[in-house]
Amino acid sequence: MKKQFTMLQSWHVCTPRPVASKLFADTPFLTGQLVCLMHPLVLGGTCAIPGAFGRGKTVISQALSKYSSSEAVVYVRCGERTNEMAGVLMDLPQLTMTLLNGREEFVMKRTTLVSNASNMLIAAHEASIYTGKGVMP
């Protein structure tokens, strides 16, 4: 008996998906940076890095993606100046990380970027947040 499946799923973004049970968050998200000591994170969880212009959000986010033990990184950047995102697009493909088996790999292979500029509508910022939420594994 053949059944046809599609990749399309119709689901409201604000409605949570049904789950049988939630996993207990007991594995720390280790980055090798000071941020692990000051603000511990959980592997498989989410983190937000808010702040004003020029406060080092890009530096922290690149360090988290380079030195972390995560399999996927989703950048959601809302209200950024265009040149800041262009800088991220120039720097991120050059970053490499050493995997547990000693092999070097580009950080960009496991990174997804969702961004919009500061001159876009507020609805576009909200759409970027929901898009990033939908992309997360």
Residue 137 clears pLDDT 70, i.e. is over it: no
pLDDT in tens, 61-105: 777 777 776 777 888 888 777 777 788 788 888 888 777 777 888
42: three-class secondary structure by DSSP: strand
> What domain range is 109 assigned to?
35-41+55-135
How many folded domains does the chain comprise? 1
19 belongs to a structural domain: no
17 belongs to a structural domain: no
DSSP string, 55-122: SSHHHHHHHHHHHS--S-EEEEEEEE-HHHHHHHHHHGGG-EEE-TTS-EEEGGGGEEEEEEETTS-H
Evaluate whether 71 touches 65 at the Cβ level (below 8 Å).
Answer: no
**Whole-prediction pTM value?**
0.62
74 belongs to a structural domain: yes
85 belongs to a structural domain: yes
